[in-house]
Structure 1
Amino acid sequence: MQKVYNKAPDSEAQVVYRHAALHRANRRHALEQAAKKSARKIIEDAEHYAHTQYEQARFEGYRDGIRLFVDTLIDETTHLSQTYALQLEQERGAIAHNVRKLFEDSKTATVLIEEYLDTQDADSDRSVTVYIPKWCKLSQLSIDHLQTNNGRRITLTTSPNDHFVISNGQFSVSFAPFSASTDICSRAVQRHQQRVPDTTANIVEALLSYVQQIRISNSP
Protein backbone atom coordinates (compact mmCIF):
# COMPACT_ATOMS: atom_id res chain seq x y z
CA MET A 1 0.00 0.00 0.00
CA GLN A 2 2.78 2.38 0.89
CA LYS A 3 4.32 1.87 -2.56
CA VAL A 4 1.06 2.93 -4.13
CA TYR A 5 1.03 6.15 -2.10
CA ASN A 6 4.70 6.81 -2.91
CA LYS A 7 4.14 6.39 -6.65
CA ALA A 8 1.11 8.64 -6.83
CA PRO A 9 1.83 12.35 -7.46
CA ASP A 10 0.35 14.96 -5.17
CA SER A 11 -1.57 16.64 -7.93
CA GLU A 12 -5.31 16.53 -7.67
CA ALA A 13 -5.49 14.97 -11.09
CA GLN A 14 -4.05 11.74 -9.76
CA VAL A 15 -6.65 11.11 -7.00
CA VAL A 16 -8.61 8.79 -9.25
CA TYR A 17 -5.45 6.86 -10.01
CA ARG A 18 -4.75 6.35 -6.33
CA HIS A 19 -8.30 5.17 -5.62
CA ALA A 20 -8.13 2.74 -8.51
CA ALA A 21 -4.76 1.43 -7.37
CA LEU A 22 -6.03 0.95 -3.82
CA HIS A 23 -9.13 -0.83 -5.13
CA ARG A 24 -7.00 -3.18 -7.20
CA ALA A 25 -4.73 -3.87 -4.21
CA ASN A 26 -7.68 -4.53 -1.89
CA ARG A 27 -9.34 -6.75 -4.46
CA ARG A 28 -6.11 -8.69 -4.98
CA HIS A 29 -5.79 -9.11 -1.21
CA ALA A 30 -9.40 -10.32 -0.96
CA LEU A 31 -8.86 -12.78 -3.78
CA GLU A 32 -5.73 -14.09 -2.08
CA GLN A 33 -7.65 -14.59 1.19
CA ALA A 34 -10.49 -16.32 -0.64
CA ALA A 35 -8.04 -18.57 -2.45
CA LYS A 36 -6.32 -19.48 0.82
CA LYS A 37 -9.70 -20.21 2.44
CA SER A 38 -10.73 -22.39 -0.49
CA ALA A 39 -7.41 -24.22 -0.36
CA ARG A 40 -7.83 -24.86 3.38
CA LYS A 41 -11.37 -26.16 2.77
CA ILE A 42 -10.16 -28.49 0.04
CA ILE A 43 -7.38 -29.80 2.29
CA GLU A 44 -9.76 -30.28 5.24
CA ASP A 45 -12.30 -32.10 3.06
CA ALA A 46 -9.56 -34.32 1.67
CA GLU A 47 -8.31 -35.10 5.18
CA HIS A 48 -11.84 -35.87 6.37
CA TYR A 49 -12.47 -38.11 3.35
CA ALA A 50 -9.16 -39.90 3.86
CA HIS A 51 -9.92 -40.37 7.57
CA THR A 52 -13.40 -41.70 6.77
CA GLN A 53 -11.99 -44.11 4.21
CA TYR A 54 -9.36 -45.25 6.68
CA GLU A 55 -11.96 -45.84 9.41
CA GLN A 56 -14.17 -47.73 6.97
CA ALA A 57 -11.26 -49.88 5.82
CA ARG A 58 -10.23 -50.53 9.40
CA PHE A 59 -13.78 -51.51 10.36
CA GLU A 60 -14.07 -53.80 7.34
CA GLY A 61 -10.72 -55.31 8.24
CA TYR A 62 -11.89 -55.95 11.80
CA ARG A 63 -15.17 -57.37 10.51
CA ASP A 64 -13.46 -59.66 8.00
CA GLY A 65 -10.96 -60.73 10.64
CA ILE A 66 -13.72 -61.52 13.11
CA ARG A 67 -15.66 -63.47 10.49
CA LEU A 68 -12.54 -65.43 9.55
CA PHE A 69 -11.92 -66.18 13.22
CA VAL A 70 -15.51 -67.27 13.73
CA ASP A 71 -15.52 -69.45 10.61
CA THR A 72 -12.34 -71.11 11.83
CA LEU A 73 -13.83 -71.50 15.30
CA ILE A 74 -16.98 -73.09 13.89
CA ASP A 75 -14.95 -75.47 11.72
CA GLU A 76 -12.72 -76.47 14.62
CA THR A 77 -15.65 -76.84 17.01
CA THR A 78 -17.61 -78.91 14.52
CA HIS A 79 -14.57 -81.09 13.85
CA LEU A 80 -13.98 -81.59 17.57
CA SER A 81 -17.67 -82.34 18.12
CA GLN A 82 -17.66 -84.90 15.32
CA THR A 83 -14.47 -86.45 16.65
CA TYR A 84 -15.91 -86.50 20.16
CA ALA A 85 -19.17 -87.99 18.89
CA LEU A 86 -17.27 -90.73 17.04
CA GLN A 87 -15.16 -91.54 20.10
CA LEU A 88 -18.24 -91.47 22.31
CA GLU A 89 -20.08 -93.75 19.91
CA GLN A 90 -17.20 -96.20 20.03
CA GLU A 91 -17.14 -96.07 23.84
CA ARG A 92 -20.89 -96.54 24.02
CA GLY A 93 -20.66 -99.46 21.67
CA ALA A 94 -17.99 -101.11 23.80
CA ILE A 95 -19.94 -100.48 27.02
CA ALA A 96 -23.19 -101.70 25.48
CA HIS A 97 -21.44 -104.84 24.28
CA ASN A 98 -20.02 -105.50 27.75
CA VAL A 99 -23.37 -104.87 29.45
CA ARG A 100 -25.12 -107.10 26.95
CA LYS A 101 -22.64 -109.88 27.61
CA LEU A 102 -23.09 -109.45 31.37
CA PHE A 103 -26.86 -109.80 31.28
CA GLU A 104 -26.69 -112.69 28.85
CA ASP A 105 -25.11 -114.53 31.75
CA SER A 106 -27.73 -115.66 34.27
CA LYS A 107 -25.24 -115.14 37.11
CA THR A 108 -25.44 -111.34 36.72
CA ALA A 109 -29.18 -111.12 37.43
CA THR A 110 -28.85 -113.74 40.16
CA VAL A 111 -26.15 -111.72 41.95
CA LEU A 112 -28.24 -108.54 41.71
CA ILE A 113 -31.24 -110.28 43.25
CA GLU A 114 -29.06 -111.78 45.96
CA GLU A 115 -27.59 -108.37 46.82
CA TYR A 116 -31.10 -106.91 46.97
CA LEU A 117 -32.25 -109.61 49.38
CA ASP A 118 -29.22 -109.11 51.60
CA THR A 119 -29.58 -105.33 51.85
CA GLN A 120 -33.35 -104.68 51.71
CA ASP A 121 -35.38 -106.09 54.62
CA ALA A 122 -32.87 -108.83 55.22
CA ASP A 123 -34.78 -110.03 58.30
CA SER A 124 -38.17 -109.81 56.61
CA ASP A 125 -40.06 -112.56 54.83
CA ARG A 126 -41.66 -110.12 52.38
CA SER A 127 -41.92 -111.62 48.91
CA VAL A 128 -39.98 -110.13 46.02
CA THR A 129 -41.05 -109.71 42.40
CA VAL A 130 -38.49 -109.68 39.61
CA TYR A 131 -39.49 -108.14 36.26
CA ILE A 132 -37.39 -109.68 33.52
CA PRO A 133 -36.92 -107.96 30.12
CA LYS A 134 -36.00 -109.77 26.91
CA TRP A 135 -32.35 -108.65 27.08
CA CYS A 136 -31.80 -110.32 30.47
CA LYS A 137 -31.41 -114.03 31.12
CA LEU A 138 -32.28 -115.61 34.46
CA SER A 139 -32.19 -119.25 35.40
CA GLN A 140 -35.17 -120.66 37.27
CA LEU A 141 -32.78 -123.06 38.97
CA SER A 142 -30.83 -120.12 40.40
CA ILE A 143 -34.07 -118.57 41.69
CA ASP A 144 -35.07 -121.82 43.36
CA HIS A 145 -31.66 -121.94 45.01
CA LEU A 146 -32.05 -118.36 46.28
CA GLN A 147 -35.51 -119.07 47.69
CA THR A 148 -34.22 -122.12 49.50
CA ASN A 149 -31.26 -120.28 51.05
CA ASN A 150 -33.07 -117.03 51.83
CA GLY A 151 -36.51 -118.29 52.72
CA ARG A 152 -38.27 -115.55 50.79
CA ARG A 153 -40.65 -116.06 47.92
CA ILE A 154 -39.38 -114.76 44.56
CA THR A 155 -41.85 -114.24 41.72
CA LEU A 156 -40.65 -113.93 38.14
CA THR A 157 -42.70 -111.97 35.60
CA THR A 158 -42.18 -110.36 32.21
CA SER A 159 -41.11 -106.71 32.33
CA PRO A 160 -43.77 -104.39 30.84
CA ASN A 161 -41.33 -101.56 30.05
CA ASP A 162 -38.17 -103.44 29.05
CA HIS A 163 -36.49 -102.65 32.41
CA PHE A 164 -34.98 -105.18 34.80
CA VAL A 165 -36.71 -104.46 38.12
CA ILE A 166 -36.45 -106.01 41.58
CA SER A 167 -39.22 -104.91 43.94
CA ASN A 168 -40.81 -105.88 47.27
CA GLY A 169 -43.78 -103.57 46.71
CA GLN A 170 -42.27 -100.65 48.62
CA PHE A 171 -38.71 -100.36 47.35
CA SER A 172 -37.57 -101.06 43.81
CA VAL A 173 -34.28 -101.26 41.99
CA SER A 174 -34.49 -100.71 38.23
CA PHE A 175 -31.94 -101.28 35.46
CA ALA A 176 -32.61 -99.66 32.08
CA PRO A 177 -31.66 -101.47 28.87
CA PHE A 178 -28.22 -100.57 27.57
CA SER A 179 -29.78 -99.03 24.44
CA ALA A 180 -31.55 -96.33 26.51
CA SER A 181 -28.39 -94.52 27.58
CA THR A 182 -27.00 -94.81 24.06
CA ASP A 183 -30.09 -93.14 22.56
CA ILE A 184 -30.06 -90.34 25.13
CA CYS A 185 -26.38 -89.60 24.54
CA SER A 186 -26.85 -89.64 20.77
CA ARG A 187 -29.70 -87.13 20.92
CA ALA A 188 -27.68 -84.88 23.25
CA VAL A 189 -24.69 -84.90 20.90
CA GLN A 190 -26.89 -84.14 17.88
CA ARG A 191 -28.56 -81.21 19.65
CA HIS A 192 -25.16 -79.88 20.69
CA GLN A 193 -23.79 -80.07 17.14
CA GLN A 194 -26.85 -78.35 15.70
CA ARG A 195 -26.60 -75.45 18.16
CA VAL A 196 -22.90 -74.70 17.63
CA PRO A 197 -23.10 -72.73 14.33
CA ASP A 198 -26.33 -70.93 15.31
CA THR A 199 -25.03 -69.82 18.69
CA THR A 200 -21.70 -68.67 17.29
CA ALA A 201 -23.41 -66.78 14.46
CA ASN A 202 -25.63 -64.97 16.96
CA ILE A 203 -22.58 -63.95 19.00
CA VAL A 204 -20.85 -62.62 15.88
CA GLU A 205 -23.89 -60.62 14.78
CA ALA A 206 -24.17 -59.06 18.24
CA LEU A 207 -20.45 -58.23 18.26
CA LEU A 208 -20.54 -56.64 14.81
CA SER A 209 -23.63 -54.63 15.76
CA TYR A 210 -21.83 -53.37 18.86
CA VAL A 211 -18.77 -52.36 16.82
CA GLN A 212 -20.99 -50.55 14.32
CA GLN A 213 -22.71 -48.60 17.12
CA ILE A 214 -19.35 -47.51 18.54
CA ARG A 215 -18.19 -46.47 15.08
CA ILE A 216 -21.31 -44.36 14.53
CA SER A 217 -21.11 -42.72 17.96
CA ASN A 218 -17.45 -41.80 17.42
CA SER A 219 -17.96 -40.39 13.95
CA PRO A 220 -17.98 -36.55 13.67
Structure 2
Amino acid sequence: MDIGGTFTDFVLYDELTGEYRTGKVSTTPKDLSIGVLEGLGHLAKDLSDIDFCVHGTTAGLNSFLERKGARVALITTEGFRDVYEIARGNRPEMYNLQYRKPEPLVKRRDIFELKERVLFDGTVAAAEDMNASLFRSAFSPVIYEMKDCSVGIFNDKAKMLGQSAGLPIFLGNLEECIKKTIDMYGLDFFQEGDVLIMNDAYMTGTHLNDVTVFA
Protein backbone atom coordinates (compact mmCIF):
# COMPACT_ATOMS: atom_id res chain seq x y z
CA MET A 1 0.00 0.00 0.00
CA ASP A 2 1.10 3.57 -0.67
CA ILE A 3 -0.36 6.46 1.32
CA GLY A 4 -0.15 9.63 -0.74
CA GLY A 5 -1.28 13.14 -0.05
CA THR A 6 -4.54 12.68 -2.01
CA PHE A 7 -5.09 8.96 -2.49
CA THR A 8 -4.09 5.73 -0.78
CA ASP A 9 -3.38 2.94 -3.29
CA PHE A 10 -3.42 -0.81 -2.74
CA VAL A 11 -2.18 -3.86 -4.62
CA LEU A 12 -3.22 -7.30 -3.34
CA TYR A 13 -1.48 -10.43 -4.58
CA ASP A 14 -2.80 -13.95 -3.99
CA GLU A 15 0.14 -16.38 -3.96
CA LEU A 16 -2.14 -19.40 -4.41
CA THR A 17 -4.03 -18.21 -7.47
CA GLY A 18 -1.56 -15.63 -8.82
CA GLU A 19 -4.37 -13.06 -8.89
CA TYR A 20 -3.69 -9.32 -8.54
CA ARG A 21 -6.26 -6.88 -7.24
CA THR A 22 -5.92 -3.12 -6.92
CA GLY A 23 -7.80 -0.48 -4.99
CA LYS A 24 -7.80 3.24 -4.35
CA VAL A 25 -9.41 5.32 -1.60
CA SER A 26 -9.09 8.92 -0.49
CA THR A 27 -6.34 9.61 2.01
CA THR A 28 -7.52 10.72 5.44
CA PRO A 29 -4.84 13.22 6.59
CA LYS A 30 -6.13 13.59 10.16
CA ASP A 31 -5.80 9.84 10.74
CA LEU A 32 -4.10 7.88 7.95
CA SER A 33 -5.18 4.56 9.43
CA ILE A 34 -8.83 5.27 8.58
CA GLY A 35 -8.11 5.29 4.85
CA VAL A 36 -5.82 2.27 5.15
CA LEU A 37 -8.43 0.13 6.91
CA GLU A 38 -11.11 1.23 4.47
CA GLY A 39 -9.01 0.24 1.47
CA LEU A 40 -7.98 -3.09 2.95
CA GLY A 41 -11.60 -3.81 3.76
CA HIS A 42 -12.50 -3.48 0.09
CA LEU A 43 -9.81 -5.93 -1.00
CA ALA A 44 -9.78 -8.53 1.77
CA LYS A 45 -12.79 -9.93 3.58
CA ASP A 46 -10.66 -11.12 6.48
CA LEU A 47 -7.48 -9.19 7.31
CA SER A 48 -6.08 -12.27 9.04
CA ASP A 49 -5.72 -13.81 5.57
CA ILE A 50 -2.98 -11.28 4.77
CA ASP A 51 0.42 -12.84 5.48
CA PHE A 52 2.69 -9.99 4.48
CA CYS A 53 2.21 -6.26 4.04
CA VAL A 54 4.50 -3.67 2.44
CA HIS A 55 3.74 -0.10 3.42
CA GLY A 56 5.02 3.19 2.05
CA THR A 57 3.92 6.79 2.45
CA THR A 58 4.77 10.24 1.17
CA ALA A 59 3.04 11.92 4.13
CA GLY A 60 6.35 12.83 5.76
CA LEU A 61 7.85 14.04 2.47
CA ASN A 62 4.76 16.13 1.73
CA SER A 63 5.02 17.80 5.13
CA PHE A 64 8.69 18.49 4.38
CA LEU A 65 8.06 19.97 0.93
CA GLU A 66 4.97 21.96 1.91
CA ARG A 67 6.64 23.15 5.14
CA LYS A 68 3.63 22.29 7.24
CA GLY A 69 5.55 20.56 10.00
CA ALA A 70 6.10 21.77 13.55
CA ARG A 71 8.42 24.65 14.35
CA VAL A 72 11.73 23.24 15.50
CA ALA A 73 14.95 24.58 17.01
CA LEU A 74 18.52 23.50 16.35
CA ILE A 75 21.19 23.47 19.06
CA THR A 76 24.76 23.39 17.81
CA THR A 77 28.29 23.98 19.04
CA GLU A 78 29.34 27.62 19.38
CA GLY A 79 30.75 28.97 16.13
CA PHE A 80 28.73 26.62 13.92
CA ARG A 81 25.41 28.46 13.93
CA ASP A 82 25.59 29.45 10.25
CA VAL A 83 26.95 26.16 8.91
CA TYR A 84 23.42 24.79 8.53
CA GLU A 85 22.38 27.67 6.27
CA ILE A 86 25.67 27.95 4.37
CA ALA A 87 25.73 24.18 3.80
CA ARG A 88 28.22 23.22 1.10
CA GLY A 89 27.84 26.49 -0.77
CA ASN A 90 26.68 24.72 -3.92
CA ARG A 91 25.07 26.73 -6.72
CA PRO A 92 23.03 24.38 -8.96
CA GLU A 93 22.68 27.24 -11.47
CA MET A 94 26.15 28.73 -11.48
CA TYR A 95 25.47 31.61 -13.88
CA ASN A 96 21.94 32.47 -12.78
CA LEU A 97 22.21 35.86 -11.07
CA GLN A 98 18.64 35.55 -9.78
CA TYR A 99 19.21 32.19 -8.11
CA ARG A 100 17.99 31.96 -4.52
CA LYS A 101 18.78 29.12 -2.18
CA PRO A 102 15.78 27.26 -0.77
CA GLU A 103 14.67 28.61 2.59
CA PRO A 104 16.10 26.47 5.42
CA LEU A 105 13.65 24.44 7.48
CA VAL A 106 15.07 25.94 10.68
CA LYS A 107 15.16 29.73 10.77
CA ARG A 108 18.36 31.38 11.98
CA ARG A 109 16.59 32.83 15.02
CA ASP A 110 15.78 29.26 16.10
CA ILE A 111 19.41 28.09 15.99
CA PHE A 112 21.17 28.30 19.35
CA GLU A 113 24.86 27.89 20.08
CA LEU A 114 26.10 26.03 23.12
CA LYS A 115 29.57 26.36 24.56
CA GLU A 116 31.03 23.09 25.71
CA ARG A 117 34.24 21.56 26.98
CA VAL A 118 35.17 17.91 26.50
CA LEU A 119 36.68 16.33 29.61
CA PHE A 120 39.48 13.78 29.66
CA ASP A 121 37.00 10.90 29.79
CA GLY A 122 35.05 12.09 26.76
CA THR A 123 32.14 13.63 28.67
CA VAL A 124 31.08 17.19 27.93
CA ALA A 125 31.03 19.89 30.62
CA ALA A 126 28.93 22.99 30.00
CA ALA A 127 28.57 24.31 33.55
CA GLU A 128 31.31 26.91 33.18
CA ASP A 129 29.54 28.46 30.21
CA MET A 130 26.03 28.49 31.69
CA ASN A 131 26.03 32.29 31.78
CA ALA A 132 26.41 32.54 28.01
CA SER A 133 23.73 29.92 27.42
CA LEU A 134 21.26 31.65 29.73
CA PHE A 135 21.93 35.01 28.13
CA ARG A 136 21.07 33.65 24.70
CA SER A 137 18.03 31.74 25.99
CA ALA A 138 16.64 34.99 27.40
CA PHE A 139 15.72 35.96 23.86
CA SER A 140 14.10 32.61 23.04
CA PRO A 141 10.34 33.11 22.53
CA VAL A 142 9.72 29.73 24.13
CA ILE A 143 11.32 30.84 27.40
CA TYR A 144 10.31 34.50 27.22
CA GLU A 145 6.58 33.79 26.78
CA MET A 146 6.55 31.41 29.75
CA LYS A 147 7.36 34.38 32.00
CA ASP A 148 9.34 32.19 34.39
CA CYS A 149 10.83 33.76 37.48
CA SER A 150 13.05 32.48 40.28
CA VAL A 151 14.27 34.08 43.48
CA GLY A 152 17.31 33.17 45.57
CA ILE A 153 18.51 34.56 48.93
CA PHE A 154 22.28 34.66 49.55
CA ASN A 155 24.43 35.63 52.53
CA ASP A 156 27.47 37.93 52.48
CA LYS A 157 29.61 34.97 51.40
CA ALA A 158 27.47 34.49 48.28
CA LYS A 159 26.08 31.22 49.62
CA MET A 160 22.45 30.39 48.96
CA LEU A 161 20.17 30.46 52.00
CA GLY A 162 16.87 29.82 50.25
CA GLN A 163 15.24 29.71 46.85
CA SER A 164 11.86 29.84 45.13
CA ALA A 165 10.30 26.93 43.30
CA GLY A 166 10.26 28.55 39.84
CA LEU A 167 13.36 27.34 38.03
CA PRO A 168 15.76 26.17 40.76
CA ILE A 169 18.19 24.67 38.26
CA PHE A 170 19.26 28.18 37.23
CA LEU A 171 19.60 29.60 40.73
CA GLY A 172 23.00 28.07 41.29
CA ASN A 173 24.23 30.43 38.60
CA LEU A 174 23.24 33.48 40.69
CA GLU A 175 25.94 32.65 43.22
CA GLU A 176 28.54 33.28 40.54
CA CYS A 177 26.77 36.52 39.59
CA ILE A 178 27.11 37.86 43.14
CA LYS A 179 30.76 36.83 43.35
CA LYS A 180 31.52 38.65 40.11
CA THR A 181 29.77 41.76 41.37
CA ILE A 182 31.79 41.77 44.61
CA ASP A 183 35.01 41.23 42.67
CA MET A 184 34.15 44.09 40.35
CA TYR A 185 33.25 46.72 42.95
CA GLY A 186 34.87 45.39 46.13
CA LEU A 187 33.18 45.02 49.52
CA ASP A 188 34.11 48.58 50.53
CA PHE A 189 31.86 49.87 47.77
CA PHE A 190 28.71 48.61 49.52
CA GLN A 191 26.94 50.10 52.51
CA GLU A 192 24.20 48.59 54.64
CA GLY A 193 20.87 48.83 52.84
CA ASP A 194 22.34 49.21 49.33
CA VAL A 195 20.40 47.51 46.53
CA LEU A 196 21.81 46.82 43.07
CA ILE A 197 19.56 45.84 40.16
CA MET A 198 21.45 44.39 37.21
CA ASN A 199 20.50 42.90 33.86
CA ASP A 200 23.88 42.88 32.15
CA ALA A 201 24.59 39.21 31.49
CA TYR A 202 28.10 39.90 30.27
CA MET A 203 29.31 41.88 33.28
CA THR A 204 27.48 40.33 36.20
CA GLY A 205 25.14 37.65 34.92
CA THR A 206 21.38 37.42 35.16
CA HIS A 207 18.49 34.95 35.22
CA LEU A 208 16.86 34.50 31.83
CA ASN A 209 15.13 37.71 30.73
CA ASP A 210 14.70 39.04 34.29
CA VAL A 211 16.98 41.13 36.52
CA THR A 212 19.31 40.16 39.35
CA VAL A 213 18.69 42.06 42.57
CA PHE A 214 21.73 42.28 44.84
CA ALA A 215 21.07 43.79 48.28
Q: TM-score, normalised by structure 2?
A: 0.20
| Larger strand proportion of the pair | 2
| Larger helix proportion of the pair | 1
Higher normalized contact order (CA 8 Å, seq sep 6+, divided by chain length) = 1
Q: TM-score, normalised by structure 1?
A: 0.20
- Give the structure with higher Rg (CA): 1
